[in-house]
Amino acid sequence: MDDQSRNTKKDYRKIEMACQIARQAGLSYAWIDTCCIDKSSSAELTEAINSMYRWYQHSDICYAFLADLPASVSLDTALPHCRWFTRGWTLQELIAPEEIYFFDQDWNNRGSKKDLVECLSGITGIDASVLRREQHLSSVAVAQKMSWAAYRETTRIEDTAYCLLGLFNVNMPLLYGEEEKAFRRLQEEIIKSTADLGIFAWRMPSAARNTKERVFCGVLAETPLAFAGCTSIATGSNTWQREFSVSNIGMKTQIQILSAPIPGTRASRYILPLNCCSWACGRSLGVRLRKCGPDQFIREDPWTLEEYTGYFFPNAPRESYLLTKLPEIETYPDPQTWGMSLFIAKTRSHVLQVSLPLEMQVYDAWPWGRFDDEDQLFFVSGNPRWDSGALRLCANFTSVGRRKTKVEFECMFYAVGWSELEPGRLQCTLVDYRSFPIELREVQSQITTWDHDTTQVLEQLAYHRIPRSCIASFKIAGTKASAVVSLTPTLVSDLSICQNKFWRVEFSCKIYDTEKLSQIDHKGWIVGGIKMR
């Protein structure tokens, strides 16, 4: 390179000064990011970006040249305004090296990371213990690390994700042109490598909220900016390794989802516990989920994190899918054309909704993956051959009459063929659990092992001679009274629940004198058009 071409190179003086200072420090080699990577080689660029954090980490010393830091202005005044603290790539340059020196625009040494650690911590929001290497980076919550990058910028959209690879100790191929998908891929790689569910603790800026409708989205953030409010999040102590796999449906994992009761009803909302808390409130954090398909969940209300103590009820750990984007609905490809409030209803082709009195509640549901706690219904999203379901119902209340009487009972409710709207096609029954304990256990052991279709469920009910009746009675211990539970199916239309007409089953529970009860009539199950006895 001749003298003229050297002088016309914008960054040549930076290279020259860096090498000169390195030589004075007794170093034999210098690596400068602007000229030591052949960006025309995709292989070299991929290797460099995936390795850069380790290169900084293992360096003897690093120099940061701040071209917009005047030599005549104090650090306290000028340093916070330097562009170096707003660039995405410089985040790893600050954290990874043990020793780093900062130079102003005239190449005056203005101090080291150790000397300026408190000032740097105040500017970046990174705890001083992390900058001093007293706290290992892996012990910092994923959400908190993401918050460090919230307001940083990169020239290319994809680099918003690529510049964070080393910070989370993950590797992935570079696909320039994928734009925002790169940040989604980064989150998926992080989830595969860590048990920290705090990665779901992001929130959209409240200023972006322009609707009172219920809003749904995928469980992953679109940009690091969504983690801006996560500076005080800490991971819980009872972290255990969870297996995640990425499929064409979403992220498949076995997690324990919580149920949050809706006051005044028997319904519950789903909450994903994040096993993390905020220093500000000290409470556990979670995000609200909505079931949108068989064992499939999307996030609801991307502006809010649920703060809770101990009044949410844990469900059994089950294999579930956390969707990274909203499912497509063929007849309604764009939710904005018909309103987000109807989105869940559009994912259901047929449903069976139950309406329970306050004296009764659902103890368990099969198949759980197709039962929605919030709307209290079974659903199918396509093929109606899976239109069957079972509920284990229980009651524990005090009846107020001539005298207070404690009432306790359990029963099974089976409903089959509820996608059919013709009268007589829906077959239901209520069965006293105490009267048929063996038969009910055998039926449940058969139908819960895998996803049976309607015909198979009917065959099991008929084979085990489960009685078919819309009424069940339960003697109340120590009294001459009985609790009588009955059900009434009604065909209804409610576009907020389902896109088609559906059956709503209304339950009632009343107390009668046992002697005045009539004998309950049992019908046979109809399987393939044949009435079974």
- In 468-501 the beta strands, taken as DSSP E runs, fall at 471-475, 481-492
Residue 237: what pLDDT? Answer: 63
Residue 198: what pLDDT? Answer: 92
* 123-168 tens-digit pLDDT: 999 999 999 999 999 999 999 999 999 999 999 999 999 999 999 9
The stretch 397-425 carries a mean pLDDT of 87
Residue 341: what pLDDT? Answer: 73
* 17-35 tens-digit pLDDT: 999 999 999 999 998 887 8
Q: What is the mean pLDDT of the chain?
A: 90
Residue 522: band (very low, low, confident or very high) from pLDDT cuts 50, 70, 90: confident
Residue 337: what pLDDT? Answer: 42
Residue 176: band (very low, low, confident or very high) from pLDDT cuts 50, 70, 90: very high
* 50-86 tens-digit pLDDT: 999 999 999 999 999 999 999 999 999 999 999 999 9
Residue 297: what pLDDT? Answer: 97
Residue 338: what pLDDT? Answer: 45
Which own/partner contact pairs does 121-130 have at CB distance under 8 Å and 24+ positions apart? 122/80, 123/79, 123/80, 123/85, 124/85, 124/91, 124/94, 124/148, 125/231, 126/94, 126/95, 130/95
* 373-398 tens-digit pLDDT: 999 999 998 889 999 999 999 999 88
pLDDT of 3 > 70? The answer is no
pTM: 0.89
**φ and ψ of 100, to 5 deg:** -140, 135
Q: Residue 153 carries which DSSP code?
A: B
* 259-290 tens-digit pLDDT: 999 888 889 999 999 988 887 777 889 999 99
* 432-445 tens-digit pLDDT: 989 999 999 999 99
Residue 213: what pLDDT? Answer: 82
Q: Which residues pair with 296 in a beta bridge?
A: 293, 321
Residue 332: what pLDDT? Answer: 53
CA pair distance 117, 123, nearest whole angstrom? 10
* 461-503 tens-digit pLDDT: 999 999 999 999 999 888 888 999 999 999 999 999 999 999 9
* 305-341 tens-digit pLDDT: 999 877 788 888 889 999 999 988 765 555 544 457 7
